[in-house]
Structure 1
């Protein structure tokens, strides 16, 4: 009986060690999202990313930062739970371009005018900076 209990304990440690080896560390990626120039667009994308993150944060997205002056999204994710391509598709589904992938047409159409591409008349308007927090505008 002692041998059996000892075998079970060793097996449990081995399985735990294997699970830790298999689980990848979170890594950072930089994604260009040229439409992210104002607080409206930032809020819209962040709300969408929160749903993609999952209710318990277990979907693979850990955290992100957005630099509105450059339109750069830095996102931390766990590669064994979610892929970078999936994250880009999720951004596209929110209506935004991501690197070389373009926004899903219906979602893009639903964006507010400020969040549209500059070629479509979107983005900051002359004399009305939108990259400042709403309380400073």
Structure 2
């Protein structure tokens, strides 16, 4: 009778040590992020909401913030997922100028009147 419990204990030790011997898969840290600043033609808080939302849908974008007074859009992104050129294009397709690149004509026409460059209020 004394042999059976020690045999059982030895078996449990072998099973548990086998479970701990498995290699754990660790996530490797992804590539570092990059930041790009784009001078936009955005003029109001509606523009801010529109641009930040559009950037949130872009693959690889970690964060996007528009400073309305300076019209600077700061985008933090993963370079393995997107590029500064792709983000510039995304801003244009949203209807805003990006640095020296003019906005997409059709997208610009869809903007509310308060967001257009020709609005006298701004």
Q: State the TM-score, normalized to the length of structure 2.
A: 0.71
Shift of 1:87: 0.4
Shifted more, 36-45 versus 89-98: the winner is 36-45
- 2:107 equivalent in structure 1: 107
Aligned residues: 99
Q: Give the Å deviation of 1:50.
A: 2.3
1:37 and 2:47 are equivalent in the alignment: no
SS in 2 for 1:82: coil
* Cα separation, 2, equivalents of 1:47 and 1:74: 13
Alignment partners' CA distance in 1, 2:93 and 2:43: 18
Query: 1:114-135 deviations in whole A, cap 9, x for unaligned?
Result: 2112xxx226x17xxxxxxxxx
Root-mean-square deviation over aligned CA pairs: 2.0
Shift >6 Å, 4+ stretches: none
**SS state of the match for residue 57, structure 2?**
helix
| 8 Å CA contact 1:25, 1:78 repeated in 2 | yes
**CA distance in 2: counterparts of 1:62 and 1:110, whole angstroms:** 27
> Structure 1 unaligned runs (5+)?
1-8, 53-58, 127-137
Asked if structure 2 preserves the Cα contact closer than 8 Å seen for 1:45 and 1:94, the reply is yes
Post-superposition shift, 1:66?
1.3
Q: Map 1:13-52 to 2 at 5 A.
A: 20=29, 23-33=30-40, 35-52=41-58
Q: Which protein, 1 or 2, shows the higher relative CO under an 8 Å CA cutoff with sep ≥ 6?
A: 1
CA distance in 2, matches of 1:74, 1:50: 12
Q: Distance in 2 between matches of 1:64 and 1:95?
A: 16
SS of corresponding position for 2:37: strand
Q: Which has the larger radius of gyration?
A: 2
